[in-house]
């Protein structure tokens, strides 16, 4: 099974997303664990620990005509001084002219429901396409792994629209459905991006404020709501591609970094 499919139609569908911030009300009816059931505080030095992380490798275009080659080289991914750094570079790598890293928890940790929290600082510059997101472990529904089996983005960002950070869900019925928030310091300061996933809603948050709420309607089947199966986490920087490269690539910006302070997952305990 190929797990490299990203948002190959996002450039066409992004206009369906809200471009205006709005007040969002979220029902406070679920309880999550007070301490994480899975976490990486990056309090070590070297490569991300193999007990928690794997790498997607290669320069196949990843379903979106992306231009980077993903590696596990220390120039592209490392842990030091309490931080994880994923670095995209302008250099010949494999059959590509850019290198980067795509870090995944697949086969190491997957989750069905819970609260996901990532404190991160994003790269900047035209041509970058960082993401903090999740995909289903298995091809359970439909004919296409993506979007039929769903996905959700705590963060989707493109450097040509520097101050806007997107939160999305993806399914067969809703290939791209989400909202955006203006964060002028997304690349200069750390922000906490989180997702609460329960049996009846997915809610995205930035710095403790909800940015997008997707409730499960009674009429929904798997086409709208494939979010009843385990998902794994992904951290990456893509270069170019159908969305990230929509305005071209500024080669003067490199290297660019996605810097992560921590990744934490809290268990869904139940309803109040």
- C-alpha 75/C-alpha 228 separation (Å) is 37
**Fold assignment, 30-271:** Jelly Rolls (2.60.120)
Phi and psi of 251, rounded to 5°? -70, -10
Task: Label residue 82 left, alpha or beta by phi (over 0 means left) and psi (-120 to 50 means alpha).
Answer: left
Q: Given a cut of 70, is residue 264 above it in pLDDT?
A: yes
Burial of residue 50 (number of CB atoms within 10 Å: 0-12, 13-18, 19+): exposed
How many Å apart are CA 113 and CA 196, to the nearest integer?
8
| pLDDT at 191 > cutoff 60 | yes
Q: Which of 117, 84, 122 is nearest to 103 (CA)?
A: 84
pTM over 0.85: yes
- Would you state the pLDDT for residue 187? 98
- Residues 230-266 as b or e (16 or more Cβ within 10 Å = b): ebbbbbbbbbbbbbbbbeebeeebbbbbbbbebbbbb
Q: Strands, E, within 36-82: which ranges? A: 38-40, 54-56, 68-70, 77-80
What confidence score (pLDDT) does residue 2 get? Answer: 38
Rounded CA-CA distance 43/213 in Å is 33
Q: What is the C-alpha separation between 75 and 69, in angstroms, rounded?
A: 13
Model confidence band, residue 21 (pLDDT cutoffs 50, 70, 90): low
pLDDT category at 22 given cuts 50, 70, 90 is: low
- pLDDT, averaged across the chain: 93
- The arithmetic mean of pLDDT across residues 241-267, rounded, is 98
Spatial CB neighbours of 196, under 8 Å, sequence gap ≥ 6: 26, 30, 32, 115, 202, 203, 205
Residue ranges per structural domain of the chain: 30-271
Structure tokens belonging to residue 119: 């404190």
pLDDT interval class at 5 (50, 70, 90): very low
CA distances from 48 to 39, 72, 73, 99 (A): 12, 10, 11, 17
91, 100 in Cβ contact below 8 A? no
Phi/psi of residue 177, nearest 5 degrees: -140, 125
DSSP-assigned states of every residue in 166-178 = EEEEE-SS-SSEE
3-state secondary structure of 243: helix
What does the block give as tokens for 149?
């089996």
Which region among 12-26, 106-120, 217-231 has the lowest average model confidence (pLDDT)? 12-26
**pLDDT given at position 20:** 52
pLDDT tens by residue, 152-183: 999 999 999 999 999 999 999 999 999 999 99
Peptide bond into 147 cis (omega under 30): yes
Instruction: Reply yes or no on whether the pLDDT at 8 is more than 60.
Output: no
Q: Is the backbone of residue 187 left (phi > 0), alpha (psi -120 to 50) or beta? A: alpha
For the cut 90, the answer to whether the pLDDT of residue 25 exceeds it is no
Compute the distance between CA of residue 156 and CA of residue 132 in angstroms, rounded to an integer.
7
């Amino acid at each position: 099974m190929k797990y490299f499919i990203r948002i190959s139609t996002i450039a066409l569908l992004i206009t369906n997303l809200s471009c205006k911030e709005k007040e969002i009300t979220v029902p406070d009816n679920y309880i999550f664990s007070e301490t994480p059931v899975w976490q990486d505080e990056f309090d070590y030095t070297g490569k991300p620990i193999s007990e928690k992380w794997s790498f997607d490798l290669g320069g196949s275009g990843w379903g979106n005509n992306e231009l980077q080659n993903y590696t596990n080289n220390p120039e592209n991914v490392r842990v030091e001084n309490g931080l994880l750094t994923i670095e995209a570079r302008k250099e010949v790598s494999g059959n590509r002219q850019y290198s980067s890293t795509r870090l995944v928890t697949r086969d190491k940790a997957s989750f069905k429901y819970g609260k996901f929290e990532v404190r991160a600082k994003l790269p900047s510059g035209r041509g970058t396409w960082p993401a903090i997101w999740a995909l289903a472990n298995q091809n359970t529904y439909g004919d296409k792994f993506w979007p039929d089996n769903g996905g959700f983005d705590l963060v989707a960002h493109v450097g040509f629209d520097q101050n806007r950070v997107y939160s999305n869900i993806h399914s067969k019925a809703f290939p791209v459905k989400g909202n955006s928030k203006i964060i002028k310091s997304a690349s200069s300061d750390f922000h906490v991006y989180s997702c609460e996933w329960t049996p009846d809603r997915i809610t995205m948050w930035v710095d403790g404020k909800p940015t997008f709420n997707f409730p499960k309607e009674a009429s929904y089947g798997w086409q709208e709501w494939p979010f009843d199966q385990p998902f794994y986490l992904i951290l990456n920087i893509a270069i170019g591609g159908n969305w990230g490269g929509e305005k071209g690539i500024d080669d003067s910006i490199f290297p660019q970094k996605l810097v992560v302070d921590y990744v934490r997952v809290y268990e869904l305990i139940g309803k109040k």
